Structure 1
Amino acid sequence: MSTQPVHVDLPHKLGRAEARRRIADNVHKLASFIPGGASVTHEWQGDRLDLNIAAMGQVVDARLDVEDALVRCHLQLPGLLAMLAKPIEAALRSKGSDLLLEDRRKK
């Protein structure tokens, strides 16, 4: 079964450390961005966040590389999800920067 890569760059003006902190604070929200919900596991390796997202009977491997002015998002969409690459890319472009918003629940 083939996979479809999706790459989206999310620009920011936060600096690397602040962007990483905000993503870490917001990663719990990822499942709510996916219609029907999802199971999300994640692990940081330096400034790279490796994600495993299980949704709609499919598993998506994703990686976020946090840089000084960009967050580079890389996804490998398997099988049926590969047919939805364009809408998934559009959703990531429109909602992906929500991961960089300050989590107001703690304040």
Structure 2
Amino acid sequence: MERPIEVELPHKLGRDEAHRRIADNVHKLRDHLPGGAAAHVQSNWSGETLNLDITAMGQTVAARLDVEETKVRVRVALPGMLSFFAGPIEAALKAKGGDLLLEDKSKKS
């Protein structure tokens, strides 16, 4: 049975800057998935919503990020086999999701 996870990542960037940073950093997700280079992340923007299909170790996870003025709403639909990991995945999203997705690469050389 599918298990949804919903996390809000607060920010003070404004919608446009948060969108830009997520777009610049979405490629980093693969580095944080089991299977590393074998993992696949497909992303598609629709307005201020980023839809992701993440495939790793034979499992596909659908995720949606809604970029708002003061937060990013993350929704992840875990398939049955991964539902046992919902707690650790949710904790990791809350702890590091904002750092990973909203890091500002434009200020680094």
TM-score (norm 2): 0.92
Partner Cα separation in structure 1 for residue 107 and residue 84 of structure 2: 36
In structure 2, the CA distance between the partners of 1:91 and 1:81, relative to structure 1 (3 Å rule), is same
SS of 1:84's partner is helix
Partner Cα separation in structure 2 for residue 59 and residue 35 of structure 1: 12
SS of 1:9's partner is strand
Q: Unaligned 5+ residue runs, structure 1?
A: none
1:101 matched to which residue of 2? 103
* Segments ≥4 residues shifted beyond 2 Å: 104-107
In structure 2, the CA distance between the partners of 1:102 and 1:57, relative to structure 1 (3 Å rule), is same
Q: What is the deviation of 1:65?
A: 0.1
SS of 1:53's partner is strand
Higher normalized helix content (fraction of residues):
2
1:16 matched to which residue of 2? 15
Q: What is the deviation of 1:103?
A: 1.5
Q: Percent identity?
A: 57
Partner Cα separation in structure 1 for residue 92 and residue 71 of structure 2: 17
Partner Cα separation in structure 2 for residue 50 and residue 95 of structure 1: 19
More deviation, 86-95/18-27: 86-95
- The 5-angstrom pairing of residues 1-107 of structure 1 reads 2-37=1-36, 38-97=39-98, 98-103=100-105, 107=109
Aligned length: 106
Partner Cα separation in structure 1 for residue 93 and residue 53 of structure 2: 16
